[in-house]
Amino acid sequence: MFSRTLRFACLLSGTLLSLPLHFTCAEENAATSSEKEPQTAAERGYDHLVNNAYLIPDFHQRTIKNIWKVWPAEQRKQAAAADADERREMTYDRYGFTPRPAGRGSEELLEDLPLQYVVTDSGQWVMNCFACHGGEVAGKVIPGLPNTHYAIQTLTEETRLAKPLSGESLSPRDLASMFFPMGGTVGTTNAVMFGVALENYRDEQMNVVSYRAPPQLTHHDMDAPAWWHWKKKQRLYSDGFVQKDHRALMPFVLIKTNDGETVRSWETEFQDIAAYLNSLDAPAYPFAIDQQLARRGQAIFESRCSDCHGTYGKHETYDPPRVPLEDVGTDPVRLRALTPAHRQNYASSWLGHHGEHDTIVEPDGYLPPPLDGIWATAPYLHNGSVPTLWHMLNPEKRPAVWRRVGKEFDQKDVGFVVETPETVPEDLPISEQRRYFQTSKFGKSAAGHDFFEGLSVDERRALLEYLKTL
């Protein structure tokens, strides 16, 4: 039972109200257009993500229609008095869902469909990759943006409670979530361990192997990376241990119901998905920028930051060194959570092209990411522990506890609008406590990346202004 549950550990729960199952006019027009003109690989990739169910269903729409009935008393009272549209909006806000763009690159939003779920004709809802990689910033839904509103642990627990109300049976994923943590803080997930658990029960050809002992698991939360960085990267993950390749996108489909032949048959589709990632551009900063101040900041950036994070503008570069842990000083849990044995198993398997691709089994540090669109990707560091760019540039000011306030964007400090209490109120429901980030918890340290010594207050403000331009 234990190993079976682990195989389903990354199948997360989801939410939506009772919605129509017919195509919208926008979808019908898109289908007609695609018949006239062949889709590009990137267009096919987006369609695969929003239309193809690579996982088992998380829930039926009748369950999510009733999920408000298991909310804490105050929210339950508000939902009971709301109409259907208001209740849908409350549900979206509670769990971190956004309307779906009508197509790749479209500004039109389909209000009755979430970006984060595939909808089946039978009313089942299946999580897709946008659950973690499709978010909202400064009032705009952006596919490829980290979903910093995603309340995966709360969503999973409340879906499990709501299913009996609609007569729906619990799934293996529902049972697994009772002991396998999904994400301790809103906006972060235990994604790395999902992958470790799923890959453990596969042989080198991705065939299911049920008799293996459970893997070593070091549960910790991660902040999802921005997808538009894919085109610049040659190596993936926080430590860069994997060579960039479409197969590196596939570990999360390794659930028991997807046998090895099925997984391998999806390779062409994931090549399209990789093409979609490669087509994404960072969003431009939507507010005013002090260009004179930004030019001063550019000189500071290029003298102090570009060796690790690259250069930007007409002649861009990005060839980052791996920074040893003792130099960068950030939380070490992510680096140490993947064992050399797991990394070697990945390298030897079909995912790693049976050793033909370069996999680093024992990396000694983290790989600095490119900074395109950094204004949009708060919170910062690999574990999402720093709420604004101002806090990144002022390490001594980083809060030990912080909570995001609404969806407003902090234009001055660039990132979340936050409150910084000394402690988390103990009388709050657990779902509300998860909205507080506590840097004292395991894997959640906000220490490190303190390379700004010697910069004046004005120089740090100039550097911050330049970062808005990337």
- How does residue 34 score in pLDDT terms, banded at 50, 70 and 90? very low
pLDDT at 22: 32
Please report whether residue 338 resides in a domain. no
Q: Are residues 189 and 289 in the same domain?
A: no
The answer as to whether 370 is a domain residue is: no
**pLDDT of 8 over the 80 cut:** no
Q: Which region holds residue 86: left if phi is over 0, alpha if psi is between -120 and 50, else beta?
A: alpha
Whether 54 and 192 share a structural domain: yes
- Average pLDDT score over residue span 23-48: 68
Q: Are residues 37 and 119 in the same domain?
A: yes
Q: Is residue 105 a part of any domain in this protein?
A: yes
Query: Of 250, 279, 308, which residue constitutes the final position of a domain?
Result: 279
Residue 193 lies in a domain: yes
DSSP state at residue 424 = -
pLDDT exceeds 50 at position 86 = yes
pLDDT at 119: 85
The whole-number pLDDT of residue 107 equals 86
340, part of any domain: no
Residue 337 in any domain: the answer is no
Instruction: Say yes or no to pLDDT of 200 above 80.
Output: yes
Same domain, 252 and 104: yes
Half-sphere exposure of 226 (CA within 13 A, CB side): 26
Query: What one-character-per-residue DSSP string does 107-132 give?
Result: --EEEEEETTEEE-TTSEEEE-THHH
Least confident of 161-165, 171-175, 225-229: 171-175
Verify that 396 and 468 share a domain, yes or no: yes
Give the least confident one: 94-108, 273-287, 454-468: 94-108
Residue 24 forms part of a structural domain = yes
* Average pLDDT, rounded, for the chain: 91
Q: Tell me which residue range forms the domain holding 443.
A: 283-321+385-470
Query: pTM for the full model?
Result: 0.90
User: Does one domain contain both 213 and 257?
Assistant: yes
- Looking at residue 82, its pLDDT comes to 96
pLDDT in tens, 314-336: 889 999 999 999 999 999 999 99
User: Which pLDDT tens digit goes with each residue over 88-138?
Assistant: 999 999 999 999 998 888 888 888 889 999 988 998 999 999 999 999 999
pLDDT computed for residue 313 by the predictor = 92
The tally of domains found in the chain comes to 2
Q: Is residue 10 part of a domain?
A: yes
Query: What average pLDDT does the segment 221-240 reach?
Result: 97
Q: Please give the Cα distance from 115 to 100 (Å, whole number).
A: 4
Residues 207 and 290 in one domain: no
383, 191 contact by CB (below 8 A): no
Residue 353: the pLDDT is 97
Tell whether 160 and 292 lie within a shared domain.
no
Q: Which helix (H) or strand (E) holds 236?
A: strand 235-236
- Neighbouring residues of 260: CB distance < 8 A, sequence distance ≥ 6: 202, 203, 205, 206, 207, 208
Q: If pLDDT is split at 50, 70 and 90, which confidence band does 35 have?
A: low
68 secondary structure, DSSP code: G
Minimum mean pLDDT range among 3-12, 110-119, 370-379: 3-12
Q: Same domain for 261 and 313?
A: no
- Shared domain for 58 and 96, answered yes or no, is yes
SS3 label, residue 40? coil
CA distances from 215 to 253, 277, 289, 340, 402 (A): 18, 30, 49, 12, 33
- Same domain for 197 and 314, yes or no, is no
222, 249, 279: which is the final residue of a domain? 279
Domain end: 227, 257, 279, which one? 279
- Does one domain contain both 224 and 262? yes
